[in-house]
């Protein structure tokens, strides 16, 4: 999230909010973010996203800088537009992700602007049930997460006064349990060792070529993509491992992945479910 410097209403008015959404539509796919929810208030905004590409800092820097420049051109004045670069919270798993999404969507309720989340047109609250999809907003996964439209609607009607169970650390807030916090802190410490910093490559910030990802998968597991037997348990696990690599390392979307073996014939929702199941297995091993 981010807010206006000194509480300035930098998103007041429909024109400013629409300009910000137009930038989101441009920047989310450009930096390969996966956006689950958003809410624009007059003096701040919230985004719930997955940092698929590892370029979240670049994403926010470009988004905020572009909007700040346009804002100053249209309103005049000088000085900072945003209070800071951005504030982020690490989210443990789907159960906590659901909390974060609902908390963000209920912002207008807490502010007394509307009676129902989906009445506020500057959040994603009403987007999940519309036939026309936004290419840069992953509405299908959110609906799957809540078990369909009714589950999401029921969650949005929950008490908006409930706060998020955040754990505060020297590196920022974490939405998860103590065990997850300890793992996250250990990983942070490892990544910030001098040797680890020296070993960072361009590939830590950009996607790998598809050919490289496939070659490394074949070398690691000793099986080619079209030889994976998904009728066996170990074959299903290999397919999940490949799916995570194609999505996270090569940056492919589910549409492109569905055209490749061994994913042909699988629908978007099925791929999304397989991806998150495999992702959880990968995280549990790290």
Domain contains 152: yes
Share of the chain above pLDDT 90, in %: 48
3-state secondary structure of 263: coil
Same domain, 137 and 254: no
Name which of 111, 89, 108, 122 is nearest 156 in CA terms. Answer: 108
Average pLDDT over residues 211-221: 85
Average pLDDT over residues 253-271: 83
Question: Does residue 92 surpass a pLDDT of 90?
Answer: no
Domain contains 202: no
Q: Are 63 and 24 in contact (CB under 8 A)?
A: yes
Same domain, 42 and 152: yes
How much is the pLDDT for 203?
37
Q: Where are the beta strands (DSSP E) in the chain?
A: 2-3, 34-40, 44-50, 90-91, 166-169, 172-175
How much is the pLDDT for 66?
94
75: domain CATH number is 3.30.70.1290
Q: For residues 50 and 279, what is the distance between their CA atoms, to the nearest angstrom?
A: 12
How much is the pLDDT for 193?
52
Question: Does residue 200 surpass a pLDDT of 50?
Answer: no
Q: Report how many domains make up the chain.
A: 2
How much is the pLDDT for 205?
42
Same domain, 120 and 223: no
pTM: 0.68
Q: For residues 37 and 238, what is the distance between their CA atoms, to the nearest angstrom?
A: 31
Domain contains 166: no
User: Mean of the per-residue pLDDT values for the chain?
Assistant: 86
Average pLDDT over residues 241-245: 91
Q: For residues 70 and 132, what is the distance between their CA atoms, to the nearest angstrom?
A: 28
Q: Which helix (H) or strand (E) holds 7?
A: none
Average pLDDT over residues 59-68: 93
Residue 219 CB-density burial (10 A; 0-12 exposed, 13-18 middle, 19+ buried):
exposed
Same domain, 25 and 134: yes
pLDDT-based confidence at 55, cuts 50/70/90? confident
Domain containing 85: what range? Answer: 2-156
């Amino acid at each position: 999230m981010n807010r206006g410097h000194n509480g300035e209403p930098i998103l007041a008015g429909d024109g400013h909010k629409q300009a910000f959404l137009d930038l989101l539509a441009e920047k989310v796919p450009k930096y390969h973010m996966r956006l689950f929810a958003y809410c624009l208030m007059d003096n701040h905004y919230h985004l719930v996203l997955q940092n698929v590409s590892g370029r979240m800092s670049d994403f926010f820097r470009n988004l905020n800088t572009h909007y700040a420049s346009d804002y100053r051109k249209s309103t005049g004045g000088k000085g900072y537009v945003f209070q800071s670069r951005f504030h982020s919270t690490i989210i443990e798993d789907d159960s906590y992700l659901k909390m974060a999404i609902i908390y963000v969507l209920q912002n207008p309720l807490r502010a007394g602007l509307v009676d129902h989340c989906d009445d506020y047109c500057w959040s994603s609250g009403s987007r999940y049930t519309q036939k026309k999809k936004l290419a840069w907003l992953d509405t299908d996964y959110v609906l799957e997460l809540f078990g369909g439209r009714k589950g999401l609607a029921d969650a949005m009607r929950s008490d908006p006064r409930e706060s998020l169970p955040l754990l505060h650390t020297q590196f920022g807030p974490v939405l998860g349990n103590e065990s997850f916090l300890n793992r996250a802190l250990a990983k942070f410490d490892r990544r910030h060792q001098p040797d680890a910093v020296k070993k960072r490559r361009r590939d830590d910030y950009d996607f790998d070529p598809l050919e490289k990802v496939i070659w490394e998968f074949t070398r690691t597991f000793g099986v080619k993509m079209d030889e994976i037997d998904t009728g066996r348990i170990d074959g299903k696990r290999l397919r999940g491992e490949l799916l995570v690599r194609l999505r996270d390392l090569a940056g492919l979307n589910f549409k492109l992945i569905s055209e490749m073996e061994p994913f042909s014939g699988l629908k978007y929702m099925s791929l999304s479910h397989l991806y998150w199941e495999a992702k959880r297995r990968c995280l549990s091993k790290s």
